[in-house]
Amino acid sequence: MTKKATLALAGGEVFEGISVGAEGETVGEVVFNTAHTGYQEILTDPSYAGQLVTFTVSEVGNYGIHRGDEQAETAQVAGFIARRVCKEPSNWRSQETLPQFLARNRVVGIEGIDTRRLVRILRSAGAQQGIIDSTGASAKALVERARKAPGMEGQDLASKVSTRAAYRWEQGVEGRAPQAKKHEVVVVDYGVKRGILRQLVDIGCSVTIVPSRTPASEILARKPAGVVLSNGPGDPAAVVGADRQARDLLGKVPVMGICLGHQILSLALGGKTYKLKFGHRGANHPVRDIIGDKIDLTSQNHGFATDERSLQGKVQVTHINLYDGTVEGIAAPDLKMFAVQYHPEDNPGPHDSRYLFRRFLDLIEGGR
């Protein structure tokens, strides 16, 4: 039996569809992802906290859900939006359907809407607050509630999704034998994906994850060979103490930043960040590696970017997005630091950027 659901945008547009997953109401920033696969990784990525994710592919759920591919213990998105959801997946690894996964994780969703029209609105007007409802509330009331919902700017969501206590991570990439442990690495958890932790294990790192607000002095007291500042959600300028934490680490230990970690390092070096109109979210974004003189197809998920002009004379820009020219990577060789705006762990997406973990290892071992 199907149940009606409504998606209402702060801009006033309303979409009628069918409820999928948990029933109820949820509010968040409406964004879109262009990846054709990897919906399980997307739904469990902590960087999507507070967001209603629209999948642009015509149907999702075709290969079901495999417990082991998730990027966090539970789903992290605020809501789910799709054109059509497959109810009978076909894959030998599948352990449950996508609707069952959404219901189990209490994710409110809607399907059966014109996602092409929705994406055109978001591209023209920008990402905006929205609400998914299956309780039967009026469209007018939903639009008003969406308009009153707080936006992403000024929100420290990273501190909310971060671990509350330090822990160890031992698991590598499934099907690959990890190397012998050679280096102790600390990962600052702003919303870290498990794919990042698995890649670090695979290159021979012993990995400890610490909460986002851990002072640099406590991190350095662990005597790590290197530190990774992870991905995460929300406004980088709003993450409490993060720029000071990063500034106190620079020059004392090799540092790698990923996504939100890249933005935080930019702030620590005196740069500025700003909100993109509709963000970069997908597995097909071309990035030019200026240092390596090559092009990588990358997996991306961010709504903020670093202002290149604010970095002039402070840091080296190493990567550029070929869609819009935004900064995708920075480095400060004298401080043994580099960072990228995209996701080198390829969950989901291409493998082009895995070399960055080797670059981090070279930095730890004294290479450039």
Residues with a known catalytic role: 259, 343, 345
**Structure tokens, 102:** 């959404």
User: For residue 192, which of 40, 45, 348, 344 has the smallest C-alpha distance?
Assistant: 45
Whether the Cβ atoms of residue 347 and residue 38 lie closer than 8 Å to each other? yes
Q: Which residues contact 154 (CB under 8 A, 6 or more apart)?
A: 235, 238
Rounded to whole angstroms, what are the CA distances from 28 to 49, 136, 303? Answer: 9, 18, 13
Partners of 210 in the β-ladder: 188
Given a contact cutoff of 8 angstroms between Cβ atoms, the answer to whether 222 and 208 are in contact is: yes
Question: In sequence order, what are the residues at sequence separation of 6 or more whose Cβ sits closer than 8 angstroms to the Cβ of residue 155?
Answer: 50, 234, 235, 238
CA distance 257 to 330: 9
Answer whether 349's CB lies under 8 Å from 343's CB.
yes
Scanning the structure block, which residue is given the tokens 């935080």? 264
Instruction: Please check whether residue 196 is in contact with residue 155, taking contact to mean a CB–CB distance below 8 angstroms.
Output: no
Question: Which among 182, 242, 175, 234 is positioned nearest to 210, based on CA atoms?
Answer: 242
Torsional sign, CA 24, 25, 28, 31: positive
Closest alpha carbon to 232 in 150, 333, 322, 301: 301
Answer yes or no: are the C-beta atoms of 117 and 268 closer than 8 Å. Answer: no
Q: Crossing angle, helix 194-202 and helix 355-364, to 10 degrees?
A: 60
